[in-house]
Structure 1
């Protein structure tokens, strides 16, 4: 029972952190992460720790066959809106040299098309 309670507490904490990440990513244009963190009483290091944990939680929920490979890529130019920072939230690649930066503003339809395209390249 204590293990289940601990697991629930961890999930609630991660969901709270995910909401904080969303709020930071939607901060006003021109505001940097440091300023947002200061205004929200969180250290910058703690913000990035939470970001890493939330991303890992999302990856852990994917079936093994669907997990993308992460690699560091040179920055690609992408359209952005005033509320979305130009920082990719995910980088995917396949075994044939194709790669893509995925931004938080990507539509579900485009993401689905990218996944399909990456899975059909030989």
Structure 2
């Protein structure tokens, strides 16, 4: 029984790959699905069936978790008014910044 399951899975994967290529070709062709299907002898119903199967397969696969490093801001906050320049650290609290802006204005 395991050989039959393996063969079935391989056939399904090959079919998904072939239809993925067809769908990519349609998208790159610039034609509508109806026109592409007519030109290639494919029923639009069959096209959409396989498109749905490909989407379902993509949803079933587990997403990869990729760590992302978020850069810390290294530039200071600069405020200029009437020739006066003030540089503040980027991690200044919002309350302190708000108080300073109110004092300047």
Runs in 1 of length 4+ with deviation above 6 angstroms?
A: none
Quote the residue 2:52 is aligned against.
Answer: 52
Distance between the aligned counterparts of 2:32 and 2:22, measured in 1? 15
- Give me the TM-score of the superposition, normalised by structure 2: 0.55
* TM-score for the superposition, normalised by structure 1: 0.48
- Deviation per CA, 1:66-122: give whole Å up to 9, x if none: 8xxxxxxxxxxxxxxxxxxxxxxxxxxxxxxxxxxxxxxxxxxxxx9xxxxxxxxxx
How far does residue 62 in structure 1 lie from its aligned partner after superposition? 2.1
Higher fraction of helix = 2
Structure 2: state its 5+ residue gaps. Answer: 69-105
Return the index of the structure with the highest Cα Rg: 2
Corresponding residue for residue 18 of structure 1: 20
The number of residues matched between the two structures is 64
Residues 16-43 of structure 1 show CA distances to partners (whole Å, capped at 9, x for unaligned) of 1111110111113xx3211100111111
Q: Quote the Cα distance in structure 1 between the aligned partners of 2:23 and 2:45.
A: 13
Q: Structure 1: state its 5+ residue gaps.
A: 67-111, 113-122
Pairwise mapping of residues 18-37 of structure 1 onto structure 2 (< 5 A)? 18-28=20-30, 31-37=31-37
Tell me how large the CA RMSD over aligned residues is: 2.0
